[in-house]
Structure 1
Amino acid sequence: MSEHLGLTLIDTHAGGDVSRIVTGGIAPLPGNTVRAQMEYLQTHADGLRQLLLFEPYGIPEMSVDLIVPACHPEAAAGYIIMEVMGYPIYSGSNTICTATALLKSGIVPMHEGEQTFKLESPAGLVNIRAQNKNGQVESITIQGLPTYIAAHRQQVTVEGLGKVTYSIAYSGGFYALVDAAELGFELTLEEEALLAATAHKIVEALRALRDDHHPDLGHVGPLPFLHFMGPEEKSGHRTVSRSATYVHPGVICRSTTGTGTAARLALMAYENRLQVGDELETVSLRNTRFVGTCTGFSDTGTYAGVESTITGKAQLLARSEIIVDPKEPLLKDRDFLSLLSPSVVG
């Protein structure tokens, strides 16, 4: 028997987006809030994120959610989101996956039927409502962040595309919202690579043009995301629309994303097309779906905000352990090694 450094994992997906949930192996992090602990990782131990998202252990298309003890007394657990673009303070699909993994692992004891609890994200407390049946998590409904429109139907000149009309929403990160049909897209899976390339050009042009700040949180980084909006079909209180979300060069999310769906709700509200109780069902290139529901309206600084919930389902893919060799030549950064707890392997 020999001692090694290891992390215990539960791999999940929601709508096709894989989230790797780290359930053990990390020592307590400094900071009296989950946000402060996230900032510690970001500044002093970013090698952990790189370890889990890049070769030989991971791929950039995944996300990672590190379970940490909650700092807030009302929360059952805390979680820190890590993606290839950095450290989002909130994410819908990651929250759905994290809540499911916590229930299935027993870290949060599962109860039959409807179950509610709270998690502490870097953005603050998040209300969770799970529907459980026969030991399975049938769905997770999460409370989204207050979302608002920072720019509406403005134009930017993009090389190779000309003038592109866009709106900007904040829903946990800043999103550019563009009409897919105006750019010649039908939002089919065959368009995925061209959608990613087009989105990258638009995002780069917007980053050169704008530097949006959240009225309460201040600067939260350059614009990272773009959401392609398909045609809307309305039936009663529900609108259905194909969608695609860009998050990183070459990467279109497998799901429509929870924050992307919330951004769409904010745009509908801004255009006076949304009432409390109305729903938006977004459909991805792979025909996976999230449902966003408008639950109210509020003020976010100088902006009119939309409150919403997002409902989706996560699937467990694997339970595993990563064995970390400090001498692994492909490690990008070893600044995190002091955080790993030793364990024993045969």
Structure 2
Amino acid sequence: MKPELTIQLMDTHAGGDVSRIVTGGIDPLPGDTVRAQMEYLRDDADGLRRLLLEEPHGIPEMSVDLLVPPTDPRAAAGYIIMEVMGYPIYSGSNTICTATAVLEAGIVPKQEGRQQFMLESPAGLVQIDATVRDGVVEAITCEGLPSYIDTYRATIEVPSLGKVTYSVAYSGGFYALVDAQQLGFHLTLDEERALAATAHAIVEAIKAERGFSHYTLGDVGPLPFLHFMGPVEHVAEGYYRSRSATYVHPGVICRSTTGTGTSARLALMNYEGSIQPGDRLETVSLRETGFIGQFSAVEREGDLEVVKNNITGKGYVIARSDIVINCDDPMVDCSSLHHILSGRHSHPIDPES
């Protein structure tokens, strides 16, 4: 009799973006860092990402975060981010969701009030600041990656749109930043399909014309993301608000404004001299959810002004489940997956491991 293959999940969301946290069922991965383990998944076991983001188990709008034992002793857990476009080295919404799951699973015991711990992402260590009230995780603040402006107000001719002005920021991935109003958008939910089509046309045009290189990481792949920027409202001293929408894949506008999209906005606002260290920007999505980005400091790296920042949001647990993997199912492809599935009734990651 074949053993039943299962994967343990905790489904969560932050700002509407669902992150499936894999808490058990996957064998230890080779690699002496979380980044190396991510590269192994990408190159040799991409079936896990496809299984959980494609039919019959998932949809492309979701993300997946695999919990792994940390390789840095300062971290409570490691995590590998998987999305329909591949394996980003960092994501604000995924980090908020993973930190929430780590607390809810008891990997880090909850403490009333404020508590701090570290996670290990493929981009490195991430400081987490959690607020717990009456046993409920009320807020997660995580570090955004150092962000900077690569290109400011360039123009490109886009088929069906004409000339489009854009800037490009790096905040964990390269983002094209465009003014929503100049493209005729008010960033309301009824515009979602048109926003996705417009973003795809702009991103494809930019990718066809040029590439981008990070000042230390080098080539991190072609431009994947676009962030629509609404008008900035000055709400109070040092506090701003802007409607926003982030495109990540053909047909997909994120439910949230995204943490990395918010970090990209902070980099642009610093470049334009419109915010100071300590100031905060609340980005508001098509679904009226939001993240708060805080500009903490700026550092000079050659000709670049690199913005240090953090992102605050709230994660919600929406399901705990076992996914049953049936490799005889014609809808399921186990060819690049079976070798990492625990061939037994698996248990969630041990908090003491």
TM-score interval, smaller chain: over 0.9
Look up the match of 2:26.
26
- In the TM superposition, what whole-angstrom CA distance separates every residue of 1:65-109 from its partner, at most 9, and x where no partner exists? 000000011111000000000000000000000000010010121
Match of 1:73 in 2: 73
The secondary structure found in structure 2 opposite 1:254 is coil
Contact 2:326 2:332 in 1 (8 A): no
Please say if residues 146 and 300 of structure 1, whose CA atoms lie closer than 8 Å, have aligned partners that are also in contact.
Answer: no
The answer for unaligned runs of 5 or more in structure 2 is 347-353
Q: Tell me by how many angstroms 1:342 deviates.
A: 2.4
Q: Which residue of 2 aligns with 1:320?
A: 321
Q: Distance in 2 between matches of 1:216 and 1:302?
A: 13
Q: Is the 8 A contact 2:65 2:79 kept in 1?
A: yes
Q: CA deviation at 1:326?
A: 1.8
Aligned partners of 1:216 and 1:301 also within 8 Å? no
Identity among equivalent positions (%) equals 64
Matched residue of 2:75: which SS?
Answer: coil
| Superposed displacement of residue 333, structure 1 | 5.0
Provide runs of 4+ in structure 1 moved above 4 Å: none
Q: Deviations over 1:245-283 (max 9, x none)?
A: 001111101100000000000000001111110000000
Contact kept, 8 Å, 1:10 with 1:319, in 2: the verdict is yes
1:33-182 matches, cutoff 5 A: 33-182=33-182
1:338 counterpart SS class: helix
- Whole-Å Cα distance in 1 between the matches of residues 161 and 305 of structure 2? 32
The letter of the residue matching 1:173 is: G
TM value normalised by structure 1: 0.98
The C-alpha deviation readout for 1:122-151, integer Å capped at 9, x for no partner, is 000100000001111000000111000000
Is contact 1:6–1:324 with CA below 8 Å preserved after alignment? yes
Q: Distance in 1 between matches of 2:334 and 2:147?
A: 35
AA of the residue aligned to 2:186: E
Distance 1:90 1:300 in 2: 21
What does residue range 268-279 of structure 1 map to in structure 2 within 5 Å?
Answer: 268-279=269-280
Please report the RMSD computed on the Cα atoms of aligned residues, expressed in angstroms.
1.2
Q: Using the TM superposition, name which of 335-344 and 48-57 deviates more.
A: 335-344
Find out whether 1:304 has 2:305 as its counterpart: yes
Which 5+ residue runs of structure 1 have no aligned equivalent? none
- In the aligned structure 1, how far is the partner of 2:329 from the partner of 2:271? 51
Q: Deviations over 1:205-233 (max 9, x none)?
A: 01011210111111111111000000111
How much does 1:191 deviate? Answer: 0.5
Structure 1 stretch displaced more, 131-140 or 213-222: 213-222
3-state SS of 1:342 partner: coil
In the alignment, structure 1 residue 280 sits paired with structure 2 residue 292? no
**CA deviation vs aligned residue, 1:142-167 (integer Å, no higher than 9, x gap):** 01110000000010110001100000
Q: Distance in 2 between matches of 1:242 and 1:71?
A: 38
Rounded to whole Å, the distance in 1 between the matches of 2:237 and 2:30 is 49
Give the 3 Å change call, closer, same or farther, for CA 262–310 of structure 1 in structure 2. same
2: CA distance between counterparts of 1:183 and 1:264?
Answer: 18
Query: CA separation in 2, counterparts of 1:21 and 1:219?
Result: 29
Query: Secondary structure of the residue that 1:110 maps to in structure 2?
Result: coil
State the 1:2 CA deviation: 6.4
| SS, match of residue 61 in structure 1 | coil
Conservation of the 8 A alpha-carbon contact between 1:246 and 1:253 = yes
Amino acid at match of 2:273: N
Q: Deviations for 1:17-45, whole angstroms, at most 9, x for unmatched residues?
A: 00000001111101000000000000000
Q: How many residues align?
A: 345
SS at match of 1:343: coil
The whole-number CA distance in structure 2 between the counterparts of 1:72 and 1:213 is 28
For 1:220-231, what aligned pairs fall within 5 Å after superposition?
220-231=220-231
* Separation in structure 1 between the aligned mates of residue 186 and residue 345 of structure 2, nearest angstrom: 53
Q: Residues of 2 paired with 1:52 and 1:301: CA distance?
A: 41
Q: 1:161 to 1:307 in 2, by over 3 A?
A: same
